[in-house]
């Protein structure tokens, strides 16, 4: 089965949930549709959604909630 890395579109802080008390958008093992939100990137005090760019199943997250990430850094791996 093919895999695909989901890359951070921006540098900033990665959030896996919409607010501190909310559950994660997606967890390892979840299936996603293209366009599903898998997290947020906070850059310079503005928040940007990170969308799945293909249908598939998340096999791994490579960044934790509140991790600093660079643009182009893999956030998650999808099996497609």
Partner 1 sequence: MTRQVKTLFIANRGEIAVRIIRAARELGLKTIQAHSLADADSLAVRLADEAVNIGPPSAAKSYLNVEAVVAAAVASGADAVHPGYGFLAENARFAEAVEAAGLVFVGPTPQQIRMMGDKVSALEAAIRAGVPTVPGSKGRVETPEAAGVVVDRIGFPVMIKASAGGGGRGIRVATSRDEFDRLMPQASAEALAAFGDGGLYIEKFIASSRHVEVQVLGDGHDVVHFYERECSLQRRRQKVWEEAPAAMLPADVRAKLCQSAVDLAKAVQYRGAGTIEYLYDDTTRDFYFLEMNTRIQVEHPVTEMITGFDLVREMIRVSMGEKLRMKQSDITIRGHAIECRINAEDPTQNFMPAPGLIESLVVPGGAGVRFDSLLYQGYTVPPFYDSLLGKLIVWDEDRASAMTRMARALGELKIGGVKTTRGLHRALASDPDVQAARFDTQFLERWLEKHSEHCGE
Q: Kindly list the residues in this chain that would bind partner 1 in the complex (CB under 8 A).
A: 10-13, 43-46, 66, 68
User: Which is closer to partner 1, CB of 14 or CB of 77?
Assistant: 14
CB–CB of 70/8 below 8 Å? yes
Got the DSSP string for 14-43?
A: EESSSSTTSPPS--TT-EE-TT-EEEEEEE
Q: Give the DSSP H or E segment for 72.
A: none
Is the Cβ of residue 13 or residue 59 nearer to partner 1 in the bound state?
Answer: 13
CB of 66 to partner 1, least distance (A): 6
Query: How far is the C-alpha of 42 from the C-alpha of 28, rounded, in Å?
Result: 22
Q: How far is the CB of 40 from partner 1 (least distance, A)?
A: 13
Instruction: Give the nearest distance from C-beta 30 to partner 1 in angstroms.
Output: 26
């Amino acid at each position: 089965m093919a895999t695909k890395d989901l890359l951070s579109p921006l540098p900033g802080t990665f959030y896996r949930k919409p607010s501190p008390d909310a559950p994660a958008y997606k967890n390892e093992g979840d299936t996603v549709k293209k366009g599903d939100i898998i997290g947020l990137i906070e850059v310079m005090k503005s928040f940007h959604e990170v969308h799945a760019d293909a249908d598939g199943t998340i096999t791994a997250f490579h960044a934790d909630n509140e991790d600093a990430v660079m643009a182009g850094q893999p956030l998650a791996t999808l099996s497609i």
